[in-house]
Structure 1
């Protein structure tokens, strides 16, 4: 009788359990040590395309030039008088929208102060446009 020579090669297998344990421990470490910070800033509400309407509306137009001079509806206004002029405009026109057009070299503080004055005057929809040049 002739015996067939059979070589049995044991199946090579790698135990993955220790590697998975290490991966999960690292995942838990990174989740626990991560700090979540809520950044502060201005809230910007962008209009949806569906909200566009074709009817013209009267807005408070405020323009700020590079030197910080403020113009409302074509006439120069002092920063302290912006709120009063907006209230005068609102007495004559029924609107809740202001359009602030600022020059690119205008100080941001001036723009924020104008927006604050407009908000105090009762306007709820404020838009800011920055000129390209």
Structure 2
């Protein structure tokens, strides 16, 4: 005959209470995981950077490089000085126009482009070595915004040119 084992009620309650302590509540861990997932999805959207495409220099173009005077004759020139002030001139408007803000520079650049008798679609951005990078990029972006087909960038130091 099979032996019957009798458990006391105390042993049964101890066994039940002990098994209840082994269960972990995973809800806080799942909540934290979803919060981290949402955080990284949102911040990844802001990580996209705007870039400028720079074509490689061809060997025949490097040998036949134009002088600064030749570039200025048939281009609209935007100069960014060491004080981050924009100076705009063009083939039809040889005197420089001063612009102290990015918005003012865009307006004057658009006006010089429209008034240009040659329909200049070339732009030369001359940036002083002490000019802030954001103002130089703003000038490049403004050229793209007003429809310039060819934009060149050049840097100069104090005393390189007589403006």
Pick the TM interval, shorter chain. Answer: 0.5 to 0.7
1:119 maps onto 2:119 in alignment: no
The root-mean-square deviation of aligned C-alpha atoms, in Å, is 2.7
Q: Which has the larger radius of gyration?
A: 2
The normalised TM-score by structure 1 is 0.59
**For residues 96-115 of structure 1, what are the structure 2 equivalents within 5 Å?**
96-115=121-140
Residue equivalent to 1:75? 97
In the TM superposition, what whole-angstrom CA distance separates every residue of 1:28-78 from its partner, at most 9, and x where no partner exists?
xxxxxxxxxxxx843113564359699x65211111111101111112113
Q: Which runs of 4 or more aligned residues in structure 1 lie more than 6 Å from their structure 2 counterparts after TM superposition?
A: none
Q: Structure 2 unaligned segments of length 5 or more: list them.
A: 1-49, 90-95, 159-163
Q: Distance in 1 between matches of 2:61 and 2:141?
A: 28
Q: Distance in 1 between matches of 2:77 and 2:61?
A: 24
The normalised TM-score by structure 2 is 0.49
Q: Structure 1 unaligned segments of length 5 or more: list them.
A: 1-39
Moved more, 90-99 or 43-52: 43-52
